[in-house]
Amino acid sequence: MSFRREAHVPRGGPDGGDGGRGGDVVLVCDASLRDLRALRRRTHYRAGAGVAGHGALRHGANGEPLMLAVPPGTQVTGSAGEIEGRKWDLVADGQQAVVARGGVGGRGNKRFTSPKRQAPHFAERGVPGEHGELQLELKLLADVGLVGLPNAGKSSLLARLTRATPKVAAYPFTTLEPNLGVLSGEAGQVVLADIPGLIEGASSGAGLGDEFLAHIERTSLLVHVVDLAPELSGEPIQGGSVGELLQSNYALIERELALHDDRLAQLPRVIALSKSDLVDVIRAQQAVADFSALVGPDVPILVTSSATGAGLGALAVELLAQVLAADTATAGGQGPEASLRIGATSPPAGAREEPMLADHMLFRPGIESGYEIEHPRAGVFCVSGPTVERLIERFDLENVEAVSYVETRLRRLGVLGALRAKGFEPGDEVRIGGDAFALFASAKS
Ligand SMILES: Nc1nc2c(ncn2[C@@H]2O[C@H](COP(=O)(O)OP(=O)(O)OP(=O)(O)O)[C@@H](O)[C@H]2O)c(=O)[nH]1
Ligand SMILES: [Mg+2]
């Protein structure tokens, strides 16, 4: 609140400027980041506060927004406060999510002038900004997931197809954490994810469990790696033939995938029959015939060897073709979403509760004008409702002029009329959002 005071300008009039907005807290997707480590050091973050308005109609500056960089693949969930339950999914470089909005500034007294009120001696308070807690989860963003039994040769394939250097060893569960690698072709790049081996019962926790499958939930293609020589890794061929063992190994993994997540089980497949250098051509050919009878003509089946390099070129061509074709199919005239390649990495709409994409999130306080009146005892009325409570919060009710302004607003909202209908008399006490004050206004509008 301010009045112009200057020599030779008597009755300069109100000149209080508005307060500035509080800054927003914004998460920005930064492709140069790989993890959330930078956010470990601090737990509290706040954006800049808006500056109070000044005399001479100077508005206060807006608060600086706080920009926090997160890596692609970060999923964000509001877990407390006003932002509870909101979700964002940051996948593309430069994408932004306003996770908590700054409050709006209060208006200076100049704004409350009217023909009747030429010198308002009150101003409005600013509204507090949003606050709350966020949970940040990083999920790998890969186009292709490698799945199979432990020791099937998944990490060896990743190492041969990309420049990644995952640990490879002749025992199960060599891979404990997912590894990523980039396969480059002329038409583009495809990110491959190698994950730990699955075993029977993984979906209920056996072996390393199936939690890491979350990392390949957003892939668009799975390579199911089947070891052509399981007996050399110590798997007994009991009773049945090698062919039957290969098929039952395949079925076991497929079952675990389906138990983990139906969508994962629905993804397109490529079958890689690995370690072909360890078996004769007859066995490899027989396996191809058996698998194609099982899965039909739409699933490519490739015989590969990470030792000799056989079949790896064909596998690379197949992966590049399938993933890049899926990308262009989804990018076809679908606007910005598809060009971010979200189409290729996120589940189809309706398949599951899909988090909103950061670009499309916009939250405004709902305009809810409802209110309720209670009349606990003679001479006392309690009014509750978001709009009236917000109105009261923003003014100093010790200030007679501010109360008179509030009265006018209450009358327009119909609150005074409603109070009268309940037996309100001028001078009765009115309680709104923790404040109690006497209202003398009549209900005339
Ligand atoms: N001869 C031969 N050996 C292979 C081939 N591919 C993988 N191996 C061997 O098989 C063993 C397991 O290979 P990995 O690539 O670690 O298998 P994995 O599927 O990643 O295994 P986990 O991470 O334990 O699930 C290693 O001893 C590899 O050297 C291949 O094409 N030919
Ligand atoms: Mg491995």
Examine the pLDDT at 368 and tell me if it is beyond 70. Answer: no
How many angstroms separate the alpha carbon of residue 150 from the centre of ligand 1?
9
- In which region does residue 74 sit, left (phi positive, over 0), alpha (psi from -120 to 50) or beta (all else)? beta
Tokens for 359, please give them: 């670009």
Alpha-carbon distance of 444 to 75, in angstroms, equals 54
Q: Binning pLDDT at 50, 70 and 90, where does residue 442 land?
A: low
- What is d(CA 104, CA 123) in angstroms, rounded to the nearest whole number? 14
Query: Residue 354: which pLDDT band, with cuts at 50, 70 and 90?
Result: very low
Residue 246 confidence (pLDDT) above 90: yes
Q: How confident is the model at residue 385 (pLDDT cuts 50, 70, 90)?
A: confident
Question: What is the number of the ligand 1 atom nearest to the C-alpha of 148?
Answer: 19
Counting ligands in written order, the one closest to the CA of 154 is 1
Residue 330 pLDDT greater than 70, yes or no: no
Closest CA to 28 of 11, 45, 41, 12: 45
- Choice from 306, 308, 315 to test ligand 1 binding pocket (greatest atom count within 8 A of CB): 306
The mean pLDDT value for 153-177 works out to 89
d(CA 148, CA 222): 10
Q: Is the CB of 173 under 6 A from ligand 1?
A: yes
How many C-beta atoms lie closer than 10 Å to residue 199's C-beta?
18
Domains of the chain as residue ranges with CATH: 25-138 (2.70.210.12), 144-341 (3.40.50.300), 372-438 (3.30.300.350)
Overall pTM surpassing 0.75 (yes/no): no
* CA–CA gap between residue 337 and residue 348 (Å, rounded): 13
pLDDT digits (tens, 9 = 90+) for 270-296: 999 999 999 999 999 999 999 999 999
Q: Decide whether any atom of ligand 1 lies within 6 Å of the 274 Cβ.
A: yes
Residue 293 makes CB contacts below 8 A (sequence gap 6+) with: none
Residue of minimum CA distance from atom 4 in ligand 1: 275
Integer CA distances (angstroms), 299 to 186, 221, 319, 345, 359, in order: 24, 11, 12, 20, 36
